[in-house]
């Protein structure tokens, strides 16, 4: 079917397919030019409302065909308002016919995609030449737009490649050339462009870091109360105070980093982060008062609220990242929390005279042991990871020995030392998983 010419005029004559009838609304020269050129159907309408539907037919209907050309016989102001509803380049050339618009208005029309302005009083030959020129100008604008889009795409791809190379160089200590060869090889293997692989690598690194940081908030909720309990029990109180201040700063740093990641934003993650922020503010207030058994009990309740919120956020981030390797980052990060909670509950059971807290230790120990075995058997490994897992196993056995005597000063000191040593090991392990090629390139 021949594409129609669309005539926009102030008063619609309805939609008319016979060219002679529809062309009657046009000035003589323009009408003769169209009829002589065999322009096909000529449609008359009051506005450009038909353009947004192009290529989007209703079900069971044939695709809507773009007009071959649009002749606008309306005032320039009305045409400006109409063109503002459309994206440049327009789906066909649009020519304004009538009184000359003011220079500023003409400039705006051109920016909105107008192909040309012409007076109404043109003979047929001049009108035909004007239409041909506007169509050629529109085709040139489309070609330039396509070229610009390609250039922008190439620039955007180059940025993703540079970012991905930076991720690999930082995470794996490789050179720039080696990082690019790795990206190119992965792209060839996956039958994707290097830019697509680079974007995926960069986003995977962001997701992994976000999960690690959310997992740190899980751990910090328990560590802060553990350290407050150490201070109240007189277990290396000065060092515990310094570690407590450093933990609070670390929590704030993680919250600020997570809040600065709009690329990861979405309703579930946004809501989860807000819950974490609110829980953290409440815990801060509870820890700011002079510590006593009653204050410590209140702080522990606030810490458990933060723990639940941070656990939910980590799970939302893992699901949002939709990469299998992210699970191991979350799994390993949870071990840090378990160690801190074990030590905290053992100390609080003695300090607060609540022996029932010891009942929580068995499921925590079972969970830690099961996860440690899973990490030891996971295919996601490296010499660095295997060595850290051996250290973790040895230190875990020392912590279990310390759990047998939390009522003594020596037992409490052993617990404090082992919990911090295990925290350091699992911090390094989680970082290793976060930076592993399997997670980044997954």
pLDDT of residue 52: 47
Do residues 12 and 103 both lie within one domain? yes
Residues in CB range of 222: below 8 A, 6 or more apart:
303, 307, 337, 340, 341, 344
The answer on pLDDT for 197 being more than 80 is: yes
Instruction: Measure the CA dihedral 335/337/342/347, to 10°.
Output: 150
Asked whether residue 141 is assigned to any structural domain, the reply reads yes
The answer on pLDDT for 14 being more than 50 is: no
Cβ–Cβ under 8 Å, residues 323 and 308? no
Q: How far apart are CA 6 and CA 23, in angstroms?
A: 10
Which among 147, 169, 204 is the end of a domain? Answer: 147
Do residues 143 and 198 both lie within one domain? no
Q: How far apart are CA 440 and CA 183, in angstroms?
A: 11
Do residues 57 and 128 both lie within one domain? yes
pLDDT of residue 152: 87
Asked whether residue 266 is assigned to any structural domain, the reply reads yes
Do residues 249 and 337 both lie within one domain? yes
Asked whether residue 170 is assigned to any structural domain, the reply reads no
Q: Where are the beta strands (DSSP E) in 313-396?
A: none
Residue ranges making up the domain that contains 368: 194-440
Asked whether residue 82 is assigned to any structural domain, the reply reads yes
Asked whether residue 413 is assigned to any structural domain, the reply reads yes
**To the nearest whole percent, how much of the chain has pLDDT over 90?**
53
Do residues 264 and 116 both lie within one domain? no
Domain count, the chain: 2
Q: Which residues pair with 69 in a beta bridge?
A: 5
Coil, strand or helix at 72: strand
Do residues 416 and 288 both lie within one domain? yes
pTM, two decimals, is 0.70
Do residues 245 and 313 both lie within one domain? yes
Do residues 198 and 324 both lie within one domain? yes
Which among 91, 122, 147 is the end of a domain? Answer: 147
Which among 130, 147, 164 is the end of a domain? Answer: 147
The answer on pLDDT for 22 being more than 70 is: no
Do residues 198 and 142 both lie within one domain? no
- What would the mean pLDDT of 252-273 be, rounded to a whole number? 84
Do residues 352 and 413 both lie within one domain? yes
Do residues 141 and 219 both lie within one domain? no
CATH of the domain at 47: 3.40.50.2300
Asked whether residue 157 is assigned to any structural domain, the reply reads no
How many C-alpha atoms does 245 have within 13 Å on its Cβ side?
5
Lowest average pLDDT, out of 70-79, 305-314, 340-349, goes to: 70-79
Asked whether residue 136 is assigned to any structural domain, the reply reads yes
Model confidence over 127-172: pLDDT tens digits? 999 999 999 999 999 999 999 988 888 888 899 999 999 988 988 7
Asked whether residue 356 is assigned to any structural domain, the reply reads yes
Model confidence over 224-234: pLDDT tens digits? 999 999 999 99
Do residues 375 and 238 both lie within one domain? yes
């Amino acid at each position: 079917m021949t594409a129609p010419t669309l005539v926009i005029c102030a008063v619609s004559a309805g939609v008319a397919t016979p060219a002679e009838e529809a062309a009657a609304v046009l000035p003589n020269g323009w009408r003769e030019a169209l009829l002589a050129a065999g322009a096909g159907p000529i449609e008359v309408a009051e506005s450009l409302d038909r353009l947004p539907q192009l290529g989007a037919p209703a079900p069971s209907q044939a695709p809507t065909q773009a007009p071959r050309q649009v002749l606008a016989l309306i005032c320039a102001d009305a045409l400006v308002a109409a063109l503002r509803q459309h994206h440049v380049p327009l789906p066909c050339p649009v020519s304004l016919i009538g009184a000359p618009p003011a220079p500023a208005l003409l400039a705006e029309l051109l920016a909105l995609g107008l192909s040309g302005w012409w007076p109404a009083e043109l003979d047929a030959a001049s009108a035909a030449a004007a239409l041909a020129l506007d169509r050629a100008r529109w085709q040139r604008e489309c070609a330039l737009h396509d070229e610009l889009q390609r250039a922008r795409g190439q620039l955007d791809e180059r940025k993703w490649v540079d970012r991905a190379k930076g991720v690999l160089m930082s995470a794996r200590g490789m050179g720039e050339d080696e990082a690019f060869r790795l990206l190119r090889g992965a792209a060839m293997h996956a039958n994707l462009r290097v830019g697509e692989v680079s974007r995926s690598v960069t986003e995977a690194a962001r997701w992994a870091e976000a999960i690690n940081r959310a997992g740190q908030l899980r751990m910090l909720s328990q560590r802060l109360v553990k350290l407050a309990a150490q201070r109240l029990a007189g277990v290396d109180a000065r060092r515990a105070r310094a570690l407590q201040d450093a933990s609070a700063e670390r929590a704030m740093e993680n919250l600020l980093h997570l809040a600065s990641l709009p690329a990861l934003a979405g309703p579930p993650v946004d809501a989860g982060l807000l819950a974490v922020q609110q829980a953290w503010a409440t815990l801060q207030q509870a820890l700011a008062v002079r510590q006593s058994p009653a204050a410590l009990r209140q702080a522990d309740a606030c810490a458990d609220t933060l723990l639940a919120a941070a656990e939910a956020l980590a799970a939302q981030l893992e699901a949002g990242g939709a990469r299998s390797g992210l699970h191991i980052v979350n799994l390993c990060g949870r071990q840090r929390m378990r160690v801190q909670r074990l030590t905290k509950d053992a100390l609080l059971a003695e300090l607060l005279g609540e022996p029932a807290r010891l009942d929580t230790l068995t499921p925590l120990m079972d969970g830690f042991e099961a996860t440690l075995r899973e990490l030891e058997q996971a295919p996601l490994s490296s010499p660095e990871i295997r060595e850290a897992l051996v250290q973790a196993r040895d230190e875990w056995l020392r912590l279990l020995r310390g759990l047998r005597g939390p009522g003594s000063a020596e037992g409490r000191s052993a617990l404090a030392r082992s919990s911090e040593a295990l925290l350091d090991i699992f911090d390094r392990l989680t970082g290793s998983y976060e930076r592993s090629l399997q997670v980044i390139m997954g």
